[in-house]
């Protein structure tokens, strides 16, 4: 290890459901095809709550595992075979690194790696099946790193990874939405980044639907012209008042709310598409027969696969995505317990909470 690096670091370790503690750990060493990154910022989200509560499958053993899958930082050491990055590079990440050898990985679908959680075959998902970014230092595979252009900040980088999620979902649709009408449910970080991505890719009309006016106002400030508060008006009527009686070419659910899939079916035109980006707390019921009668195509996608974080970096560098503007709360690593209290209880209407080691 370079002499300038300390032998130990502070890291948040999960010791059991709901038991996340900041402790001293050894600074990890990068393998031959890995880099060591000094973490600048790590985002926290609903998936982290599932991990903390013990509802996420296949995490490493308690007492050994550091969560955090939306992190960014500066390269401080590289493995023996790494020449793509150098010490001092500012980088953002993809959370998933597939095995690189299964059928899905070969075609770029490494978030659906058939060797998920098989470390021996090369799979790792930072903060989910491997140690993540709620720490001062983290290691990551060279294939899942992207150099950050000048002018983009660590807080930009956290949301760039989020934007990669919606770009990957749009890949499943064929990626060509120029001129289409798009409705997005859920004005959280994923939904607002998805709205910005659709606008950047040339969508004709972008509509964001949600229940919290403050978040809809934030989206409007970032250039999303049409917003609908579904607590105040019937969203389907409002959508059709803007788009016409047929509805949207594409509807995206980034909310994870149980009633939304049915609203997606009702508000999508015949022959249109629905993209599900959200995870749901329980089983979802909706009228699948209605979707079939309308010849609606249903798509799902997980994470930020298909090299789409690289595309998100490019869009952000061009000024097409506003990222750091969605960060509402900042905490030190030692305050991580309070950070998750804010997220869980929605104190101060958190949009994106970040941890800075």
Nearest to 141 by CA among 114, 119, 116: 119
pLDDT of residue 57: 86
Annotate 169-198 with DSSP letters as a single string.
HHHHTTS--TT-EEEEE--SHHHHHHHHHH
Is residue 238 within 8 A of residue 183, CB to CB? The reply is no
Nearest CA among 100, 32, 93 for reference residue 68:
93
CA 128 vs CA 69, 111, 120, 123: distances in Å: 7, 12, 16, 11
Q: What is the pLDDT of residue 355?
A: 97
CB atoms within 10 A of CB 156: 25
Model confidence, pTM: 0.93
For residues 246 and 267, the answer to whether their CB atoms sit within 8 Å is: no
Q: Which residue has the tokens 């595992």?
A: 65
Q: What is the pLDDT of residue 1?
A: 67
| CA-atom Rg of the chain in angstroms | 20
Q: Three-state SS for 343?
A: helix
Q: What is the pLDDT along the chain (357 residues), one digit of tens a residue?
A: 676 899 999 999 999 999 999 999 999 999 999 999 999 999 998 899 999 999 888 899 999 999 999 999 999 999 999 999 999 999 999 999 999 999 999 998 999 999 999 999 999 999 999 999 999 999 999 999 999 999 999 999 999 999 999 999 999 899 899 999 999 999 999 999 999 999 999 999 999 999 999 999 999 999 999 999 999 999 999 999 999 999 999 999 999 999 999 999 999 999 999 999 998 888 999 999 999 999 999 999 999 989 999 999 999 999 999 999 999 999 999 999 999 999 999 999 999 999 998
Phi first, then psi, for residue 68 (nearest 5°) are: 110, 105
DSSP characters for 60-78? PPTTTB----EEEEEEEEE
Burial of 243 (0-12, 13-18, 19+ CB in 10 A): buried
**Rounded to 5 degrees, what are φ and ψ at 251?**
-120, 135
């Amino acid at each position: 290890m370079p002499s300038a690096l300390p032998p130990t670091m502070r890291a948040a370790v999960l010791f059991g459901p709901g038991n996340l503690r900041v402790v001293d750990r050894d600074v990890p060493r990068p393998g031959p095809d890995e880099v060591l990154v000094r973490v600048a910022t790590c985002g926290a989200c609903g998936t982290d709550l599932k991990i903390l509560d013990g509802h996420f499958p296949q995490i490493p053993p308690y007492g050994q595992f550091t969560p955090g899958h939306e992190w960014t930082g500066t390269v401080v050491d590289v493995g023996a075979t790494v020449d793509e990055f150098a010490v001092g590079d500012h980088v953002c990440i993809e959370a998933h690194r597939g095995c690189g050898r299964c059928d899905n990985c070969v075609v770029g679908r490494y978030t659906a790696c058939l060797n998920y959680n098989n470390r021996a075959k090369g799979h790792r998902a930072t903060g989910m099946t491997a140690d993540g970014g709620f720490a001062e230092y983290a290691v990551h595979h060279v294939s899942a790193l992207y150099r950050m252009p000048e002018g983009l900040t660590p807080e930009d980088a956290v949301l760039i990874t989020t934007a990669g999620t919606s770009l990957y979902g749009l890949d499943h649709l064929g990626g060509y939405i120029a001129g289409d009408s798009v409705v997005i449910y859920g004005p959280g970080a994923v939904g607002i980044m998805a709205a910005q991505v659709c606008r950047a890719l040339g969508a004709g009309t972008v509509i964001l639907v949600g229940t919290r006016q403050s978040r809809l106002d934030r989206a409007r400030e970032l250039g999303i012209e049409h917003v609908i508060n579904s607590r105040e008006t019937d969203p389907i009527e409002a959508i059709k008042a803007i788009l016409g009686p047929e509805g949207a070419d594409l509807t995206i659910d980034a909310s994870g709310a149980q009633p939304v899939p049915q609203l997606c079916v009702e508000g999508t035109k015949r022959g249109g598409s629905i993209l599900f980006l959200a995870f749901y707390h329980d089983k979802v019921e909706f009228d699948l027969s209605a979707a079939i009668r309308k010849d609606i195509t249903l798509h799902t996608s997980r994470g930020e696969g298909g090299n789409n974080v690289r595309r998100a970096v490019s869009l952000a560098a061009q000024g097409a995505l506003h990222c750091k503007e969605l960060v509402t709360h900042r905490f030190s690593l030692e305050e991580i317990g309070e950070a998750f209290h804010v997220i869980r209880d929605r104190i101060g209407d958190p949009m994106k909470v970040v941890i800075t080691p």
